[in-house]
Structure 1
Amino acid sequence: MSNLHELKCEACHIDAPKVTDLELEEMLQGISQWRVIERDGIKQLEREFTFKNFKLAWAFSNKIAELAEAEFHHPTITLEWGKVTVCWWSHSAKGLHKNDFICAAKTDRCLE
């Protein structure tokens, strides 16, 4: 699904359906540099971004924070010298929801 960045997150409730394995594989094609990890039994999308210095990494982190506020969907952002790691997952659903893939695609666009 290549148009994920054009979609808007929907309200996600505690009983919101997680993506199926088939949906996961389909949506991963649109965000090929992301990987699925599992922490504490919860699937998450993760990607590391590298930068030439801390200031550029910091600026990118701020763009992700703005995106998160605009979508009302909030990731884990780890800022290090020259590196930012972003993890998206739906806290209320305790796993991956379509919103996570939308935000991952929009995160990629923040590099442009």
Structure 2
Amino acid sequence: MSTLAKANCQACRAGALSACTSEVEEWLLQIPKWSLIKVDGIEQLQRQFKFNNFVAAMSFANELTEIAEQQDHHPAILVEWGKATVTWWTHSIAGLHRNDFIMAAKTDQLLAK
């Protein structure tokens, strides 16, 4: 289990600093299957998870919902037949925060069960 997966999210308010380049590089090493993407100029983390059917993908999304509620940090989740695409970023700062990397690591843990 990565250090990030053991951590908990901290409240992040508007005006908080986005993760710097060296932090992003360091944290990405703990979540190597995630991609750094940019949407409308906003850096985000994204990963697609594959499943055998729609029900399994939906079950994964529902489990992730519970963790997101516990941590008070919520992703964008697109559920399709046989896959779920999860995207993390911090809306209040329009970028990446340590919380996004924590939640990506916790998302990975769901498949390790």
Q: Specify the TM-score bucket, using the shorter chain as the normaliser.
A: over 0.9
Q: Which residue in 1 is equivalent to 2:41?
A: 41
Q: Which residue in 2 is equivalent to 1:93?
A: 93
Sequence identity (%) = 50
CA-to-aligned-CA distance 1:52-75 (integer Å, 9 cap, x gap): 011110100001111110110010
* SS of residue paired to 1:15: coil
Letter in 2 for 1:14: A
Q: Which residue in 1 is equivalent to 2:17?
A: 17
Q: TM-score, normalised by structure 2?
A: 0.97
CA distance in 2, matches of 1:67, 1:38: 25
CA distance in 2, matches of 1:9, 1:101: 9
1:7 equivalent in alignment to 2:1: no
Q: Give the aligned length.
A: 111
CA distance in 2, matches of 1:20, 1:103: 18
* SS of residue paired to 1:24: helix
Q: Which residue in 2 is equivalent to 1:52?
A: 52
CA distance in 1, matches of 2:17, 2:83: 32
Q: CA RMSD in A?
A: 0.5
Runs of 4+ in 1 over 2 A off after TM superposition: none
Q: TM-score, normalised by structure 1?
A: 0.97
